[in-house]
Amino acid sequence: MSIRGKAACVGLGMAGMGEAPGRNAMEIMAEAVGKALDDAGIPLSEVDGLFAATAFHSMAAMSLAEHLGIQPKFSDGSNIGGSSFMAHALMAAMALDAGLCNVAVIAYGSNQRTAGGFKSISEPMPFEAAYGPRNPLTAYALATSRYMHEFGATREQIAEVAVAARAWALLNPEAFMHEAGPLTTDEVLAARMISDPLGKLDCCLVTDGGAAIVMTRADRARDSAKPPVYLLGAAFEHHHRMISAMPSLTTTAAAASGARAFEMAGYGPAAMHTAQLYDAFTINTLLFLEDLGFCGKGEGAAFVQGGAIAPGGRLKVNTNGGGLSCIHPGMYGLFVTIEALRQIRAALGSEEGPRGPGGWVDGARLSVAHGNGGVLSSQATCVWGASETL
């Protein structure tokens, strides 16, 4: 028994993109919920399933339900970092399929940028904190050092990930770096070193932002105002919390979550028209391209060369500009999901707003949305598809 295609996204919304001065995290999240419900054409009163996680609320689903004035029959505030929302999509599909709720909303909000900068949700790690790690940065720097050592990858090769992300952002007026101009490899290499071998431009943005999606069972989704996008496969897995406890710093649990999500979907990586991969740091994109099966282990750095994941490249990766150049309010996973969904909706004729040439990928019917949480800790993969892929 599978939940493949049993539920679909019928609405989505974003709020406070980039900077939202004067608004708190809950207000940004609630605005995104309102936009997603408007997009779906479903009134708030019908929402009976609620899923939320933020860095600002220890019990986000309860806080959001109260703010919205609703009394959900099913809710889940599980927090596995930035991958929470892929897991929420799986939970929502299960709850919808089981009849435990009828309209599920997944939401997130953050005002970290205007509230003073990076907002951590993490307690100090008991056997690491004494050494002064600046997590998550330190952990990703360590992983990058190991990746370069094992596979002979260079900083110059890895910089291509940031260059490609910027090129996508230039096509996306919603991206925080849309007006920043193109990025060159030399600029990435020349940026201030933060934690070797990661420089400033290897690291994600620190922005505000909120996001929400609405899911219903497939039978109801068929009549929705916007093209429904079906959850074809989903899986998550995690094996550590502290980077020192990660079995191998060059293979993530995405190798497991991706394989199971693709198996449920009945489509493999080669069938994906876009790949939205949580890029908190440049190393993420390489590891996830490998672990999800777009290329072999250790081949990621070579795979991305020559604009291969930039607009016009062979694989459309992080088409909004990613966490590196579009938006990163701390837990970016729901934006990853929304970009996967919007690419499919746009290709089906939905008005999704302006993008530069190629910014909306022609013929997109299948997208993978991969979320990462903690310090390469939690990996969650969703495969979304248009109705014809069912």
Tell me the closest approach of the beta carbon of residue 142 to other proteins, in angstroms: 4
Q: Interface with other proteins by CB under 8 A: which range of 123-131, 174-182, 308-316, 363-371?
A: 123-131
The count of other CB atoms within 10 Å of the CB of residue 239 is 15
123 touches other proteins (CB under 8 A): no
133 touches other proteins (CB under 8 A): yes
73 touches other proteins (CB under 8 A): no
Amino acid, res. 30: A
Cα distances from 310 to residues 162, 182, 274, 368, in angstroms, run 10, 12, 11, 17
Cα distances from 216 to residues 72, 95, 143, 338, in angstroms, run 14, 10, 39, 16
129 touches other proteins (CB under 8 A): yes
- Candidate list 78, 145, 185, 387; residue touching other proteins; CB under 8 A: 145
DSSP string, 314-335: SS-BSTT-HHHHT--SS-THHH
Q: Interface with other proteins by CB under 8 A: which range of 6-14, 22-30, 122-130, 304-312?
A: 122-130
- Could you tell me where the beta strands, DSSP code E, fall in 155-287? 193-195, 198-199, 208-217, 229-238, 274-277
3-state secondary structure of 224: coil
Which residue is associated with the tokens 């934006």?
335
Q: What is the DSSP letter of 182?
A: -
- Candidate list 249, 295, 334, 338; residue touching other proteins; CB under 8 A: 249
Give the whole-angstrom CA distance, residue 142 versus residue 72: 42
Pairing of strands 7-18, 208-217: antiparallel
- Candidate list 26, 89, 143, 218; residue touching other proteins; CB under 8 A: 143
Tokens of 201: 């431009």
Q: Interface with other proteins by CB under 8 A: which range of 14-22, 38-46, 135-143, 177-185?
A: 135-143
CA–chain centroid gap for 5, Å, is: 20
Tell me the closest approach of the beta carbon of residue 190 to other proteins, in angstroms: 14
69 touches other proteins (CB under 8 A): no
Looking only at residues 189 through 248 of this chain, which bind other proteins when binding is defined by CB under 8 A?
192-198, 242-245
The count of other CB atoms within 10 Å of the CB of residue 177 is 22
Cβ–Cβ < 8 Å for 281, 287:
no
Q: Interface with other proteins by CB under 8 A: which range of 130-138, 180-188, 311-319, 321-329?
A: 130-138
128 touches other proteins (CB under 8 A): yes
Q: Interface with other proteins by CB under 8 A: which range of 51-59, 126-134, 296-304, 336-344?
A: 126-134
Q: Interface with other proteins by CB under 8 A: which range of 84-92, 143-151, 165-173, 349-357?
A: 143-151
Tell me the closest approach of the beta carbon of residue 153 to other proteins, in angstroms: 13
- Candidate list 99, 126, 349, 357; residue touching other proteins; CB under 8 A: 126
- Cβ proximity to other proteins, 131 vs 388, nearer residue: 131
3-state secondary structure of 31: helix
Tell me the closest approach of the beta carbon of residue 132 to other proteins, in angstroms: 6
Cα distances from 131 to residues 127, 169, 376, in angstroms, run 9, 36, 19
- Candidate list 65, 141, 261, 301; residue touching other proteins; CB under 8 A: 141
Number of residues located near other proteins, criterion CB under 8 A? 28
Give the whole-angstrom CA distance, residue 63 versus residue 54: 11
- Cβ proximity to other proteins, 64 vs 376, nearer residue: 376
Give the whole-angstrom CA distance, residue 2 versus residue 193: 47
Tell me the closest approach of the beta carbon of residue 243 to other proteins, in angstroms: 7
Which secondary structure element, helix H or strand E, spans residue 30, and what is its range?
helix 25-40
Cβ–Cβ < 8 Å for 49, 64:
no
22 touches other proteins (CB under 8 A): no
- Cβ proximity to other proteins, 244 vs 387, nearer residue: 244
The count of other CB atoms within 10 Å of the CB of residue 313 is 16
Tell me the closest approach of the beta carbon of residue 206 to other proteins, in angstroms: 17
- Cβ proximity to other proteins, 103 vs 249, nearer residue: 249
Tell me the closest approach of the beta carbon of residue 192 to other proteins, in angstroms: 8
Q: Which positions touch other proteins (CB under 8 A)?
A: 126-134, 138, 141-143, 145-146, 149, 192-198, 242-245, 249
